[in-house]
Amino acid sequence: MKKILVIGANGFVGRRILDNLSENGACEVFGCSLHPDILPKNGGNYHFITTDIRDEAAVKQLFKDVQPDVVINCSALSVPDYCEQHREEAYAINVSAVENLAYCCEHQGSRLIHLSTDFVFDGRSDRLYTEEDLPAPLNYYGVTKYQGE
């Protein structure tokens, strides 16, 4: 049975992915967040692990314990105004931690799915953006998410 690790499982998108994957029972699901599970389900079909992804040693231990086949990274410091005022923290979460996740995935042989944001673009396009469009972030949040990509 495949093991899927959802990082940022307390967030809006991460919670939906965690709940959806854990409901179908086709894989063993692990949720991970900085804080304890905000919506624990009695008998929920997932495991929840509290981990600070900025802590490289803790992330390496997480990978050792879980041995995930797939890692879905939904984590981010995602409040643009806060990121502007707390650049070191934004960089640590949105760039450095993602780099470490990618390293751990490569070492473990896990597939990494990294969610980004439309904030990597300037919003001036008159059509939907594609993967081929060049990023042009307008704020530090967008810059860090682009760097994390």
Given a contact cutoff of 8 angstroms between Cβ atoms, the answer to whether 49 and 66 are in contact is: yes
pLDDT in tens, 35-84: 999 988 766 789 999 999 999 999 999 999 999 999 999 999 999 999 99
Catalytic residue selected from 46, 91, 141, 146: 141
pTM to 2 decimal places: 0.94
**What's the pLDDT score for residue 66?**
97
- Report strand pairing: 47-50 vs 28-33: parallel
Cα 116 to Cα 123: distance, rounded to the nearest angstrom? 15
**What's the pLDDT score for residue 63?**
98
141 belongs to the catalytic site: yes
- Read off φ and ψ for residue 80, nearest 5 degrees: -55, -45
pLDDT at 11 over 80: yes
**What's the pLDDT score for residue 41?**
74
**What's the pLDDT score for residue 43?**
61
